[in-house]
Amino acid sequence: MLNLKVHIDNNSGFCFGVVYAIQLAEEILNEKGILYCLGDIVHNDEEIQRLRKKGLITISHDQLQNVKNETVLLRAHGEPPSTYQIAIENNLTLVDASCPVVLKLQNRVKQSADADKKIFIYGKRGHAEVEGLIGQSNNEVVVFQDIKELDFEKMPKKISLYSQTTKSTEKFYSIYNQLLEQGIEIDLNDTTCRQVSNRDIQIRSFAQSADVIVFVSGLKSSNGKVLFEACKQYNPRTYFVSSTSEIDPSWFNALETVGICGATSTPMWLMEEAKERLMGW
């Protein structure tokens, strides 16, 4: 027996936007037994499987074109205007669970676009939230994940800078300062979600509170990648798992303390399942 001492990070688990989306989904599923969701409701396969068993049907944007007279949930990531237009044309009932933080960001991007500003977004290409932001503008929007992708000589001398809400605040301001050093005038829009960015700070402390960290997250979670790297930086014995079956006993020594934490898209029940597995060794 390893006799591990295991504790879960109380600050980990769903952010309020994801909590709201899943609560809405479960209410409708309990009432109707079926609900369409546009894209993964959360970037966690284990949680999606749980909801699928309740009747949640995940569809793509291409599939949405052929869905008519049904109820469709819009997840927390937000959607471009084109999605709402399709809903009108196909007589869809939308259950809009777009996160208020994302909706505020969309509005600010639209204002910048209407003012014909050059919009640059620090974010992940193809991410649902970023696609929703791009849809707010009829003009070209530059999306980048690393400042090295930008050609300073070809950039406009004045830009409007935004961030995907789940990106690191620290890195966002580092990018801002590097652009200023290049002589670029910046209309700065700090649009990182503070609930998410505070997790970055909290998790660094948590990472040092145990001998070993088990970080539980979906493989698609951008926030999960950021927080895992933060954990790894402060505790090299940090291991990433997407399901509890991936946890390996060889990672631990007898009587060690183990901390379990996760992304804003990681359900608490999955971290509790990980704890139960560890306590059995």
Q: Which residues are known to be catalytic?
A: 129
C-alpha pair distances (Å), 98 with each of 24, 65, 74, 222, 262: 11, 20, 6, 17, 22
3-state secondary structure 131-192: HHHHCCCCCCEEEECCHHHCCCCCCCCEEEEEECCCCCHHHHHHHHHHHHHCCCEEEECCCC
Say if CB 258 and CB 281 are below 8 A apart. no
Using N-to-C axis directions, what is the helix angle for 194-207 and 169-181, rounded to 10°? 110
C-alpha pair distances (Å), 176 with each of 30, 48, 118, 159, 191: 46, 36, 15, 11, 13
CA 90 vs. chain centroid, Å, equals 29
- Residue 242 has what DSSP assignment? S
User: Which residues are 159's β-sheet partners?
Assistant: 186
C-alpha pair distances (Å), 36 with each of 96, 107, 163, 183: 12, 26, 29, 48
Question: Within 10 A of 152 (CB to CB), how many other CB atoms are there?
Answer: 12
Cα gap 196→18, rounded to integer Å: 12
* 215: three-class secondary structure by DSSP: strand
